[in-house]
Amino acid sequence: MLSHQDNATETVRLLRQQAALARFGSYAFREPVLLKILNEAARTCAEGLDVPFCKICRYRPAENDLLIEAGYGWRDGVIGHVVSAADHSTPQGRAFITEQPVILHDLQDQRECGDVVLPAFYAQHGIISTIDVIIKGLSGEPYGVLEIDSAVQHDYDQHDVAFLTGFANILAEAVATSQRVQALRVAFARAEALVVEKDMLAEELKHRVRNNLQLISGMLDSHLRAVAGPAQKVSVMAMIRRVMTLAEVYEQLLGTGLGRSIDLGEYINAVCKNLPTLQNSFSKDILLSCRTVTLPVDLDTVTAIGMIVAETVSNSYEHAFPNGSGLIDIELRRAGAQPGAVLTISDDGPGFTEVAGSKRHGIGLVRRLMQQLDGSTSLDVTAGTRWTFRFPTPSAPETPAEDGG
Protein backbone atom coordinates (compact mmCIF):
# COMPACT_ATOMS: atom_id res chain seq x y z
CA MET A 1 0.00 0.00 0.00
CA LEU A 2 1.36 3.42 -0.98
CA SER A 3 2.18 5.94 1.71
CA HIS A 4 0.70 9.41 1.74
CA GLN A 5 3.95 10.80 0.34
CA ASP A 6 4.02 8.15 -2.39
CA ASN A 7 0.43 8.99 -3.30
CA ALA A 8 1.30 12.66 -3.55
CA THR A 9 4.30 11.87 -5.73
CA GLU A 10 2.19 9.67 -7.98
CA THR A 11 -0.46 12.36 -8.28
CA VAL A 12 2.14 14.93 -9.27
CA ARG A 13 3.53 12.53 -11.88
CA LEU A 14 0.12 11.88 -13.39
CA LEU A 15 -0.72 15.59 -13.48
CA ARG A 16 2.60 16.29 -15.18
CA GLN A 17 1.86 13.63 -17.78
CA GLN A 18 -1.62 15.01 -18.45
CA ALA A 19 -0.19 18.50 -18.83
CA ALA A 20 2.40 17.14 -21.25
CA LEU A 21 -0.38 15.51 -23.31
CA ALA A 22 -2.32 18.78 -23.44
CA ARG A 23 0.73 20.84 -24.42
CA PHE A 24 1.72 18.41 -27.13
CA GLY A 25 -1.82 18.28 -28.53
CA SER A 26 -1.89 22.04 -28.81
CA TYR A 27 1.57 22.11 -30.41
CA ALA A 28 0.93 19.28 -32.85
CA PHE A 29 -2.14 20.84 -34.42
CA ARG A 30 -0.39 24.19 -34.88
CA GLU A 31 2.87 22.91 -36.34
CA PRO A 32 2.75 22.28 -40.11
CA VAL A 33 6.04 20.32 -40.37
CA LEU A 34 5.50 16.64 -39.59
CA LEU A 35 9.11 15.87 -38.65
CA LYS A 36 9.04 18.62 -36.02
CA ILE A 37 5.85 17.10 -34.60
CA LEU A 38 7.46 13.67 -34.39
CA ASN A 39 10.62 14.91 -32.70
CA GLU A 40 8.63 16.97 -30.21
CA ALA A 41 6.52 13.90 -29.48
CA ALA A 42 9.66 11.84 -28.77
CA ARG A 43 11.06 14.50 -26.44
CA THR A 44 7.79 14.97 -24.57
CA CYS A 45 7.28 11.22 -24.14
CA ALA A 46 10.78 10.68 -22.81
CA GLU A 47 10.45 13.50 -20.30
CA GLY A 48 6.90 12.52 -19.33
CA LEU A 49 8.00 9.00 -18.43
CA ASP A 50 11.38 10.08 -17.09
CA VAL A 51 13.40 7.95 -19.53
CA PRO A 52 16.43 9.01 -21.62
CA PHE A 53 15.32 7.59 -24.98
CA CYS A 54 12.26 7.62 -27.20
CA LYS A 55 11.80 6.81 -30.86
CA ILE A 56 9.05 6.89 -33.45
CA CYS A 57 9.14 4.22 -36.14
CA ARG A 58 7.33 4.67 -39.45
CA TYR A 59 5.97 1.60 -41.20
CA ARG A 60 7.15 1.16 -44.80
CA PRO A 61 4.77 -1.16 -46.70
CA ALA A 62 7.11 -1.84 -49.60
CA GLU A 63 9.89 -3.04 -47.29
CA ASN A 64 7.52 -4.33 -44.56
CA ASP A 65 9.74 -2.80 -41.92
CA LEU A 66 9.78 0.00 -39.36
CA LEU A 67 12.22 2.86 -39.92
CA ILE A 68 13.23 5.08 -37.00
CA GLU A 69 11.85 8.36 -38.35
CA ALA A 70 12.33 10.59 -35.29
CA GLY A 71 13.62 10.26 -31.76
CA TYR A 72 15.13 11.72 -28.63
CA GLY A 73 18.41 10.93 -26.88
CA TRP A 74 19.97 8.72 -29.57
CA ARG A 75 23.49 8.96 -30.96
CA ASP A 76 24.14 9.86 -34.58
CA GLY A 77 23.42 7.12 -37.07
CA VAL A 78 20.25 5.83 -35.43
CA ILE A 79 17.47 8.19 -36.50
CA GLY A 80 16.69 7.82 -40.18
CA HIS A 81 18.91 4.76 -40.60
CA VAL A 82 17.95 1.87 -38.31
CA VAL A 83 15.09 -0.42 -39.30
CA SER A 84 13.33 -3.30 -37.59
CA ALA A 85 11.31 -6.11 -39.13
CA ALA A 86 7.57 -5.55 -38.88
CA ASP A 87 6.95 -9.03 -37.45
CA HIS A 88 7.04 -10.94 -34.15
CA SER A 89 10.84 -10.97 -34.04
CA THR A 90 11.08 -7.37 -32.76
CA PRO A 91 9.26 -5.44 -30.01
CA GLN A 92 8.18 -2.80 -32.51
CA GLY A 93 7.00 -5.43 -34.97
CA ARG A 94 4.93 -7.22 -32.31
CA ALA A 95 3.21 -3.98 -31.28
CA PHE A 96 2.55 -3.11 -34.91
CA ILE A 97 1.10 -6.50 -35.84
CA THR A 98 -0.94 -7.14 -32.70
CA GLU A 99 -1.90 -3.47 -32.18
CA GLN A 100 -1.36 -4.09 -28.47
CA PRO A 101 1.25 -2.56 -26.13
CA VAL A 102 4.45 -4.63 -25.84
CA ILE A 103 6.31 -4.24 -22.53
CA LEU A 104 9.77 -5.69 -21.93
CA HIS A 105 10.94 -4.89 -18.41
CA ASP A 106 14.34 -6.60 -18.79
CA LEU A 107 15.84 -7.23 -22.20
CA GLN A 108 18.53 -9.37 -20.56
CA ASP A 109 15.94 -11.84 -19.28
CA GLN A 110 15.74 -14.57 -21.88
CA ARG A 111 12.51 -15.89 -20.40
CA GLU A 112 10.78 -12.52 -20.91
CA CYS A 113 12.25 -11.68 -24.31
CA GLY A 114 12.02 -15.15 -25.85
CA ASP A 115 12.98 -15.06 -29.54
CA VAL A 116 13.11 -11.26 -29.78
CA VAL A 117 15.90 -10.02 -32.05
CA LEU A 118 17.28 -6.62 -31.10
CA PRO A 119 19.38 -4.37 -33.35
CA ALA A 120 22.94 -3.70 -32.14
CA PHE A 121 22.21 -0.11 -31.10
CA TYR A 122 20.19 -1.37 -28.09
CA ALA A 123 23.33 -2.81 -26.54
CA GLN A 124 25.36 0.22 -27.61
CA HIS A 125 23.00 2.46 -25.64
CA GLY A 126 22.64 0.01 -22.74
CA ILE A 127 18.88 -0.36 -23.20
CA ILE A 128 17.25 -2.56 -20.55
CA SER A 129 13.51 -1.75 -20.62
CA THR A 130 11.11 -0.81 -23.44
CA ILE A 131 7.44 -0.12 -24.09
CA ASP A 132 6.02 -0.14 -27.63
CA VAL A 133 2.55 1.09 -28.61
CA ILE A 134 1.03 1.38 -32.06
CA ILE A 135 0.41 4.78 -33.66
CA LYS A 136 -2.98 4.40 -35.24
CA GLY A 137 -5.84 6.84 -35.66
CA LEU A 138 -9.56 6.21 -35.72
CA SER A 139 -9.42 5.46 -39.44
CA GLY A 140 -6.87 4.51 -42.03
CA GLU A 141 -3.72 2.44 -41.84
CA PRO A 142 -1.42 2.69 -38.76
CA TYR A 143 1.51 5.07 -39.09
CA GLY A 144 3.96 3.04 -37.07
CA VAL A 145 5.10 2.52 -33.47
CA LEU A 146 6.03 4.75 -30.53
CA GLU A 147 8.68 3.31 -28.22
CA ILE A 148 10.34 4.49 -25.02
CA ASP A 149 13.66 2.99 -23.89
CA SER A 150 15.61 3.08 -20.67
CA ALA A 151 19.07 1.97 -19.57
CA VAL A 152 17.58 1.33 -16.12
CA GLN A 153 15.08 -1.43 -15.47
CA HIS A 154 11.59 -0.04 -14.97
CA ASP A 155 8.49 -1.65 -13.60
CA TYR A 156 6.03 0.12 -15.86
CA ASP A 157 2.47 0.28 -14.57
CA GLN A 158 -0.92 0.80 -16.17
CA HIS A 159 -0.61 4.59 -15.86
CA ASP A 160 2.60 4.57 -17.90
CA VAL A 161 0.99 2.43 -20.59
CA ALA A 162 -2.13 4.63 -20.57
CA PHE A 163 -0.02 7.77 -20.93
CA LEU A 164 1.98 6.31 -23.80
CA THR A 165 -1.13 4.95 -25.53
CA GLY A 166 -2.96 8.26 -25.18
CA PHE A 167 0.08 10.05 -26.52
CA ALA A 168 0.27 7.67 -29.50
CA ASN A 169 -3.43 8.32 -30.25
CA ILE A 170 -2.93 12.09 -30.26
CA LEU A 171 0.18 11.64 -32.38
CA ALA A 172 -1.76 9.49 -34.86
CA GLU A 173 -4.37 12.19 -35.37
CA ALA A 174 -1.67 14.85 -35.67
CA VAL A 175 0.12 12.73 -38.28
CA ALA A 176 -3.13 12.19 -40.20
CA THR A 177 -3.89 15.91 -40.10
CA SER A 178 -0.39 16.77 -41.28
CA GLN A 179 -0.64 14.25 -44.10
CA ARG A 180 -4.01 15.65 -45.18
CA VAL A 181 -2.63 19.18 -45.12
CA GLN A 182 0.37 18.09 -47.15
CA ALA A 183 -1.87 16.34 -49.66
CA LEU A 184 -3.95 19.49 -49.98
CA ARG A 185 -0.83 21.57 -50.50
CA VAL A 186 0.32 19.23 -53.24
CA ALA A 187 -3.14 19.35 -54.82
CA PHE A 188 -3.23 23.15 -54.61
CA ALA A 189 0.26 23.38 -56.08
CA ARG A 190 -0.77 21.15 -58.97
CA ALA A 191 -3.96 23.13 -59.45
CA GLU A 192 -2.02 26.40 -59.47
CA ALA A 193 0.42 24.94 -61.99
CA LEU A 194 -2.50 23.84 -64.19
CA VAL A 195 -4.07 27.29 -63.92
CA VAL A 196 -0.78 28.93 -64.92
CA GLU A 197 -0.42 26.53 -67.83
CA LYS A 198 -4.03 27.09 -68.87
CA ASP A 199 -3.57 30.87 -68.71
CA MET A 200 -0.42 30.62 -70.83
CA LEU A 201 -2.19 28.46 -73.41
CA ALA A 202 -5.21 30.75 -73.38
CA GLU A 203 -3.01 33.80 -73.89
CA GLU A 204 -1.17 32.09 -76.74
CA LEU A 205 -4.47 31.06 -78.32
CA LYS A 206 -5.80 34.57 -77.82
CA HIS A 207 -2.88 36.07 -79.72
CA ARG A 208 -3.17 33.53 -82.53
CA VAL A 209 -6.91 34.00 -82.94
CA ARG A 210 -6.57 37.78 -82.82
CA ASN A 211 -3.73 37.76 -85.37
CA ASN A 212 -5.62 35.46 -87.73
CA LEU A 213 -8.81 37.51 -87.52
CA GLN A 214 -6.84 40.73 -88.00
CA LEU A 215 -5.21 39.17 -91.05
CA ILE A 216 -8.63 38.27 -92.49
CA SER A 217 -9.97 41.72 -91.65
CA GLY A 218 -6.96 43.36 -93.31
CA MET A 219 -7.45 41.30 -96.44
CA LEU A 220 -11.12 42.28 -96.57
CA ASP A 221 -10.22 45.92 -96.01
CA SER A 222 -7.79 45.82 -98.90
CA HIS A 223 -10.45 44.18 -101.03
CA LEU A 224 -12.92 46.89 -100.00
CA ARG A 225 -10.62 49.60 -101.35
CA ALA A 226 -10.15 47.68 -104.58
CA VAL A 227 -13.79 47.03 -105.45
CA ALA A 228 -15.67 49.68 -107.40
CA GLY A 229 -19.40 48.99 -107.22
CA PRO A 230 -21.56 50.10 -104.25
CA ALA A 231 -23.16 46.68 -103.99
CA GLN A 232 -19.75 45.04 -103.74
CA LYS A 233 -18.66 47.50 -101.05
CA VAL A 234 -21.77 46.75 -99.01
CA SER A 235 -21.09 43.03 -99.31
CA VAL A 236 -17.45 43.37 -98.22
CA MET A 237 -18.44 45.65 -95.33
CA ALA A 238 -20.88 43.01 -94.15
CA MET A 239 -18.09 40.43 -94.13
CA ILE A 240 -15.79 42.79 -92.21
CA ARG A 241 -18.55 43.45 -89.71
CA ARG A 242 -19.12 39.72 -89.14
CA VAL A 243 -15.42 39.07 -88.70
CA MET A 244 -15.33 41.86 -86.12
CA THR A 245 -18.19 40.35 -84.13
CA LEU A 246 -16.47 36.97 -84.15
CA ALA A 247 -13.21 38.59 -83.07
CA GLU A 248 -15.01 40.20 -80.13
CA VAL A 249 -16.56 36.85 -79.19
CA TYR A 250 -13.11 35.34 -78.88
CA GLU A 251 -11.78 38.37 -77.01
CA GLN A 252 -14.53 37.93 -74.43
CA LEU A 253 -14.19 34.14 -74.32
CA LEU A 254 -10.43 34.09 -73.89
CA GLY A 255 -10.58 36.98 -71.46
CA THR A 256 -12.54 34.74 -69.07
CA GLY A 257 -9.96 31.97 -69.29
CA LEU A 258 -11.90 29.77 -71.71
CA GLY A 259 -14.93 29.66 -69.45
CA ARG A 260 -18.18 27.92 -70.32
CA SER A 261 -20.17 31.17 -70.36
CA ILE A 262 -19.71 34.78 -71.46
CA ASP A 263 -21.37 37.89 -70.08
CA LEU A 264 -23.65 38.88 -72.95
CA GLY A 265 -24.10 42.41 -71.58
CA GLU A 266 -20.36 43.06 -71.48
CA TYR A 267 -19.98 41.55 -74.93
CA ILE A 268 -22.70 43.75 -76.47
CA ASN A 269 -21.07 46.84 -74.94
CA ALA A 270 -17.75 45.87 -76.55
CA VAL A 271 -19.42 45.32 -79.93
CA CYS A 272 -21.14 48.73 -79.67
CA LYS A 273 -17.79 50.43 -79.13
CA ASN A 274 -16.41 48.91 -82.32
CA LEU A 275 -19.39 49.25 -84.65
CA PRO A 276 -19.13 53.03 -85.26
CA THR A 277 -15.57 52.62 -86.56
CA LEU A 278 -16.94 50.43 -89.37
CA GLN A 279 -19.32 53.16 -90.53
CA ASN A 280 -16.72 55.50 -92.04
CA SER A 281 -18.87 56.32 -95.01
CA PHE A 282 -21.73 57.56 -92.83
CA SER A 283 -22.31 60.66 -90.74
CA LYS A 284 -20.56 61.06 -87.39
CA ASP A 285 -23.73 62.70 -86.06
CA ILE A 286 -25.38 59.35 -85.49
CA LEU A 287 -25.26 58.46 -81.78
CA LEU A 288 -25.21 54.89 -80.50
CA SER A 289 -26.55 54.20 -76.99
CA CYS A 290 -26.13 50.86 -75.24
CA ARG A 291 -27.69 49.69 -71.94
CA THR A 292 -27.24 46.14 -70.74
CA VAL A 293 -27.50 43.88 -67.69
CA THR A 294 -25.07 41.18 -66.66
CA LEU A 295 -26.26 38.01 -68.38
CA PRO A 296 -24.10 34.85 -68.60
CA VAL A 297 -24.88 32.85 -71.75
CA ASP A 298 -23.24 30.09 -73.75
CA LEU A 299 -20.99 30.55 -76.78
CA ASP A 300 -23.70 29.81 -79.37
CA THR A 301 -26.01 32.44 -77.89
CA VAL A 302 -23.39 35.16 -77.62
CA THR A 303 -22.22 34.54 -81.20
CA ALA A 304 -25.74 34.71 -82.64
CA ILE A 305 -26.71 37.81 -80.63
CA GLY A 306 -23.47 39.52 -81.63
CA MET A 307 -24.28 38.96 -85.29
CA ILE A 308 -27.84 40.20 -84.76
CA VAL A 309 -26.64 43.40 -83.08
CA ALA A 310 -24.04 44.06 -85.77
CA GLU A 311 -26.43 43.46 -88.67
CA THR A 312 -29.34 45.41 -87.21
CA VAL A 313 -27.28 48.41 -86.08
CA SER A 314 -25.44 48.59 -89.39
CA ASN A 315 -28.77 48.49 -91.19
CA SER A 316 -29.85 51.54 -89.18
CA TYR A 317 -26.60 53.35 -89.94
CA GLU A 318 -27.02 52.73 -93.65
CA HIS A 319 -30.75 53.31 -94.15
CA ALA A 320 -32.44 55.00 -91.20
CA PHE A 321 -31.00 58.53 -91.35
CA PRO A 322 -31.33 60.27 -94.72
CA ASN A 323 -30.40 63.56 -93.00
CA GLY A 324 -27.18 62.09 -91.57
CA SER A 325 -28.09 62.37 -87.87
CA GLY A 326 -30.11 60.40 -85.33
CA LEU A 327 -30.03 57.98 -82.44
CA ILE A 328 -29.67 54.21 -82.33
CA ASP A 329 -30.60 52.67 -78.99
CA ILE A 330 -29.74 49.16 -77.77
CA GLU A 331 -31.13 47.64 -74.58
CA LEU A 332 -30.61 44.16 -73.12
CA ARG A 333 -32.75 43.14 -70.14
CA ARG A 334 -34.02 40.03 -68.47
CA ALA A 335 -37.49 38.87 -69.43
CA GLY A 336 -38.91 39.39 -65.95
CA ALA A 337 -40.51 36.43 -64.19
CA GLN A 338 -40.03 34.15 -67.20
CA PRO A 339 -36.57 32.74 -68.00
CA GLY A 340 -34.92 34.39 -70.95
CA ALA A 341 -33.92 37.83 -72.14
CA VAL A 342 -35.18 40.65 -74.33
CA LEU A 343 -32.98 42.62 -76.72
CA THR A 344 -34.38 45.78 -78.34
CA ILE A 345 -32.66 47.75 -81.08
CA SER A 346 -34.39 50.92 -82.19
CA ASP A 347 -33.68 54.08 -84.13
CA ASP A 348 -35.56 57.39 -84.50
CA GLY A 349 -35.46 57.38 -88.30
CA PRO A 350 -38.52 57.38 -90.55
CA GLY A 351 -38.81 53.59 -90.41
CA PHE A 352 -39.03 51.18 -93.30
CA THR A 353 -41.40 48.59 -94.66
CA GLU A 354 -40.02 45.07 -94.72
CA VAL A 355 -40.80 43.08 -97.85
CA ALA A 356 -41.98 39.58 -96.94
CA GLY A 357 -39.21 37.01 -97.41
CA SER A 358 -36.65 39.69 -98.15
CA LYS A 359 -33.03 39.11 -97.13
CA ARG A 360 -32.09 42.70 -97.84
CA HIS A 361 -30.01 44.56 -95.27
CA GLY A 362 -29.19 41.32 -93.46
CA ILE A 363 -32.76 40.95 -92.16
CA GLY A 364 -32.95 37.37 -93.40
CA LEU A 365 -29.73 36.51 -91.52
CA VAL A 366 -31.08 38.15 -88.35
CA ARG A 367 -34.28 36.09 -88.47
CA ARG A 368 -32.41 32.83 -89.12
CA LEU A 369 -30.07 33.48 -86.20
CA MET A 370 -33.01 34.12 -83.88
CA GLN A 371 -34.68 30.90 -85.06
CA GLN A 372 -31.50 29.01 -84.17
CA LEU A 373 -31.86 30.29 -80.60
CA ASP A 374 -35.54 29.26 -80.48
CA GLY A 375 -36.34 32.92 -80.05
CA SER A 376 -38.85 35.32 -81.57
CA THR A 377 -38.54 38.51 -83.57
CA SER A 378 -40.98 41.41 -83.80
CA LEU A 379 -40.78 44.71 -85.68
CA ASP A 380 -42.51 48.00 -84.87
CA VAL A 381 -42.26 50.91 -87.35
CA THR A 382 -44.87 53.24 -85.87
CA ALA A 383 -42.18 55.63 -84.56
CA GLY A 384 -38.89 54.94 -86.22
CA THR A 385 -37.84 51.31 -86.32
CA ARG A 386 -37.86 49.08 -83.28
CA TRP A 387 -36.70 45.46 -83.31
CA THR A 388 -37.55 43.25 -80.32
CA PHE A 389 -35.77 39.92 -79.94
CA ARG A 390 -36.85 37.48 -77.23
CA PHE A 391 -34.68 34.43 -76.61
CA PRO A 392 -34.11 31.80 -73.90
CA THR A 393 -31.00 31.89 -71.68
CA PRO A 394 -29.47 29.52 -69.12
CA SER A 395 -30.71 30.24 -65.61
CA ALA A 396 -28.31 32.47 -63.67
CA PRO A 397 -28.38 34.40 -60.38
CA GLU A 398 -29.90 37.84 -60.66
CA THR A 399 -27.28 40.59 -60.76
CA PRO A 400 -28.65 44.08 -60.07
CA ALA A 401 -25.70 46.03 -61.44
CA GLU A 402 -25.99 47.35 -64.97
CA ASP A 403 -23.41 48.63 -67.42
CA GLY A 404 -23.93 51.78 -69.36
CA GLY A 405 -22.60 52.31 -72.83
Beta bridge partners of 233: none
Mean pLDDT value across residues 381-403: 71
In tens, the pLDDT along 77-117 reads: 999 999 999 998 889 999 999 999 999 888 888 788 878 88
302 and 181 belong to one structural domain: no
Asked whether the predicted pLDDT for residue 355 surpasses 80, the reply is no
The 10 Å Cβ neighbour count of residue 139 is 7
Write the CATH number for 288. Answer: 3.30.565.10
Beta bridge partners of 66: 59, 84
Domain boundary among 127, 154, 185: 185
The answer to whether 283 touches 321, Cβ cutoff 8 Å, is: yes
152 and 11 belong to one structural domain: yes
Whether residue 199 is contained in a domain is answered as no
Whether residue 253 is contained in a domain is answered as no
Cα–Cα distance between 327 and 370 in angstroms, integer? 24
366 and 273 belong to one structural domain: yes
In tens, the pLDDT along 38-82 reads: 999 899 888 888 899 999 999 999 999 999 999 999 999 999 999
Q: Which residues contact 203 (CB under 8 A, 6 or more apart)?
A: 254
Helix, strand, coil proportions of the chain in percent (round to 5)? 50, 20, 30
The answer to whether 44 touches 23, Cβ cutoff 8 Å, is: yes
Domain with 133 in it: 4-185
pLDDT band with cut points at 50, 70 and 90 for residue 319 = confident
Nearest to 335 by CA among 404, 261, 398, 257: 398
Domain boundary among 138, 168, 185: 185
Domain boundary among 185, 220, 242: 185
Asked whether the predicted pLDDT for residue 386 surpasses 90, the reply is yes
